[in-house]
Amino acid sequence: MAEPHNERNASSSVDSDLGNTTWDSGKQNAGSSSSGFDCNICLELAQDPVVTLCGHLFCWPCLYRWLRGHSTCHECPVCKALVEEDKLVPLYGRGNANSSDPRKKPPPTAYSDIPHRPPGQRPPPASPSSGQNHFNQHHAQSSGFNFMGPQGTGAPMAAARFGNFTFSAGFGLFPSLFGFQVHGFPDGNGFGPGYPFGFPMGFHGAARSYAPPAAVSDQQEAKLSRLLMFLGFIVFLYILFL
């Protein structure tokens, strides 16, 4: 009887102490970096954490004081890389009991001379396409971009952008590309009805071949192609208005 009871106790205490465990290791090991989230200046668990582009973690007040008050040139205290305040990345974690909305949080009294830490640089939200097609479309988009890019003219690229959204435009502008598409479509088993037209056959294969189930690379791919889509859109606007 006693054994399972103990076991349960042990596991529950581990669970309930999870938060404390990290906190304690941060405190007791005192900067031996077992937690890995200590500020490189005050050696405490980072408050208002920011990360430099070189990857070093600081409390925003600590780093601010160093950059503004004491460093001769703006360099990372750890690796001496150039640090630009507007390129710092704030870390918005979860679960800090006393933090409400980070935007509204008044600076702590001790740090009253310290401005708010720089905000995160938020890319535009994901486009509202859904499910599998979302992924496929993005693959297709990036392929299209890569293919069209080297041609040097903006027009085909614009058509490619357009093609993702309105079939008629892609078709109308570039009927010849549609011919490739007809050939390619039966090949691309995995592509749903949302698959855009106007892409050469070769890229169907390519898109399919690098479409493994790895979610991380999918996400990266999606991000990249969103960026490319944005660039393409700008080029398109440029062509329209100039």
Binding site for other proteins (CB under 8 A): 28-32, 40-44, 56, 62, 65-66, 69-70, 72, 75, 77-78, 80, 110
C-beta closer to other proteins: residue 73 or 215: 73
Nearest distance from residue 82's CB to other proteins, in Å? 14
C-beta closer to other proteins: residue 111 or 233: 111
Nearest distance from residue 30's CB to other proteins, in Å? 4
3-state secondary structure of 49: strand
Nearest distance from residue 83's CB to other proteins, in Å? 12
C-beta closer to other proteins: residue 12 or 32: 32
Q: What are phi and psi of 194, to 5 degrees?
A: -80, 0
Nearest distance from residue 29's CB to other proteins, in Å? 7
Please, are residues 140 and 132 in contact by the beta-carbon 8 Å criterion? no
Q: Which DSSP helix (H) or strand (E) runs through 59?
A: strand 57-59
Q: Which DSSP helix (H) or strand (E) runs through 28?
A: helix 18-28
CA 131 from chain centre, in angstroms, equals 19
C-beta closer to other proteins: residue 75 or 218: 75
Among candidates 67, 69, 48, which has minimal Cα distance to 58?
A: 48
